[in-house]
């Protein structure tokens, strides 16, 4: 498992926030796009990076589910146990960084 952290962009935070809301839940990419309001061209690269870091595991839907529904198969994602722990830490750090930046801006504005 890689100890590397992903860049915590706002879209990454949105995806992780949705995944961490129910870490054991399997969720497909299009569902994440809808939940986060982010386009697939943003969400799928984030999912690939997180899976490459070992934060996520994925599995393809079985044909007996998607064929009768007449749609393409879905790839489902779920946080690993370690990934869920790392996501919580990363999201807390990102929030702390935002709060610190906001405080600096308020202080700079008060001096003007």
pLDDT digit string, tens, across residues 72-108: 999 999 999 999 999 999 999 999 887 887 777 777 7
Give me the domains of the chain, ranges plus CATH numbers: 10-111 (1.10.10.10)
Closest C-alpha to 56, from 111, 112, 1:
1
Strand (E) or helix (H) holding 79? strand 75-79
Between CA 95 and CA 91 the distance in angstroms is 6
Task: Tell me if residue 74 falls in helix, strand or coil.
Answer: coil
pLDDT digit string, tens, across residues 14-38: 999 999 999 999 999 999 999 999 9
């Amino acid at each position: 498992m890689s100890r590397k952290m992903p860049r915590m962009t706002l879209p990454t935070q949105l995806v992780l926030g949705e995944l961490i809301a129910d870490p054991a839940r399997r969720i497909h990419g299009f569902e994440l796009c809808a939940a986060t309001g982010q386009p697939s061209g943003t969400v799928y690269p984030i999912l690939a990076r997180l899976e490459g870091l070992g934060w996520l595991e994925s599995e393809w839907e079985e044909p007996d589910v998607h064929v009768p529904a007449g749609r393409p198969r879905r790839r489902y994602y779920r946080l690993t146990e370690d990934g869920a722990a790392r996501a919580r830490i990363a999201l807390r750090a990102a929030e702390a960084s935002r709060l610190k930046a906001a405080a600096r801006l308020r202080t700079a504005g008060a001096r003007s």
